[in-house]
């Protein structure tokens, strides 16, 4: 019984340590919006960051599509549609954590920017070798 209790406490400690690290949220990720003077300024910064990430994603996506066969393009399109659902649902969930507070929209825009940057990196990693041919 004592061993089970020790194992439970150790597992709880490890899980709680992991949870603490994940509570940082996307708006705390390293982005150019780390020192705004107001919520409005922060929102504007994250909106610009999100728009820039979206433009970068569109460019990389178009470049990747240009080197794929028709079947591969269909696979990429299906994956992109699924990723868009994931991104939107994830960022909406983060937004809803703030209820009707002013932190919600800022957090959602930061989330969109961060997850879009991750997708750009994933596309470059996955298809980079095809782009180099």
32-65 pLDDT, tens digit per residue, is: 677 767 888 888 888 999 999 999 999 999 999 9
Alpha helices in 1-133 (DSSP H): 2-22, 39-66, 70-96, 103-131
User: Can you give the pLDDT at residue 1?
Assistant: 52
Average pLDDT over residues 11-26: 40
Q: Which of 6-10, 42-46, 79-83, 92-96 has the highest mean pLDDT?
A: 79-83
> For residue 80, what pLDDT band results from cuts at 50, 70 and 90?
very high
φ, ψ (nearest 5 deg) of residue 31: -140, 170
User: Can you give the pLDDT at residue 120?
Assistant: 97
Domains of the chain: 2-131 (1.20.1270.180)
User: Can you give the pLDDT at residue 68?
Assistant: 96
Alpha helices in 67-102 (DSSP H): 70-96
């Amino acid at each position: 019984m004592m061993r089970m209790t020790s194992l439970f406490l150790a597992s709880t400690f490890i899980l709680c340590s992991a949870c603490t690290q994940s509570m940082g949220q996307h708006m705390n990720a390293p982005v150019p919006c780390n020192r705004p003077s107001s919520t409005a300024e922060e929102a504007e910064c994250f909106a610009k960051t999100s728009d820039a990430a979206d433009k970068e994603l569109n460019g990389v996506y178009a470049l990747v599509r240009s080197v794929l066969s028709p079947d591969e393009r269909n696979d990429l399109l299906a994956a992109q549609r699924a990723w868009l659902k994931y991104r939107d649902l994830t960022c909406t969930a983060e937004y809803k954590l703030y209820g009707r507070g002013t932190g919600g929209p800022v957090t959602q825009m930061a989330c969109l920017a961060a997850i879009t940057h991750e997708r750009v990196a994933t596309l470059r990693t996955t298809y980079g070798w095809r782009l180099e041919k």
